[in-house]
Amino acid sequence: MIIGTETKVKAGTQPRGKTIAYWTVTLLLAAAITLSGIGQLMQLGGNVELVANLGYPLYVMTILGVWKVLGAVALVVPRFPRLKEWTHAGIFFLMTGAAFSHAFAGDDGDYGFSVILPLGYAALNIASWALRPSSRTL
């Protein structure tokens, strides 16, 4: 009986390396999304020119900034697996949409940076979602 109990407990836990990888990727993603959202809310770092070059109205920065900050919080708070699923989906659509917006507007930046950066964030998002522990799945 004791061996069966130990086996059951170990089967429900995640390997330590995968847990470290999950938190590393997730915290990096949350930090990047938070900083980006704050930059948009405060209209810092060329965000106004960036949005204007794409042809979007400036109020889009406020909307995206709020959603990014809330999404970053949702990624790191405990529990709420359904909210986390929606957050991952939202970040994926936001970042791929940003990459496509820049590509279609011909505003890809130096060496394609304006397309590559959001796709990098989308890749971090996919990695975070794929590495998530079973407690954060539906």
State the residue range of the domain holding 60. Answer: 16-132
The stretches of the chain forming alpha helices (DSSP H) are: 2-11, 16-41, 47-54, 59-76, 81-105, 113-131
Residue 55: name the closest of 97, 96, 107 by CA: 107
Q: What pLDDT score does 53 carry?
A: 87
User: Per-residue pLDDT tens for 24-47?
Assistant: 999 999 999 999 999 999 999 888
Residue 4: inside a domain: no
Hunting for tokens 């405060």 — which residue is that? Answer: 42
Tell me how long the chain is.
Answer: 138
User: Per-residue pLDDT tens for 73-118?
Assistant: 999 998 899 999 999 999 999 999 999 999 999 887 777 888 999 9
CA distance 129 to 90: 12
Number of domains observed in the structure of the chain: 1
**Tokens at 113, concatenated:** 């940076």
Q: What pLDDT score does 5 carry?
A: 53
Residue 101: inside a domain: yes
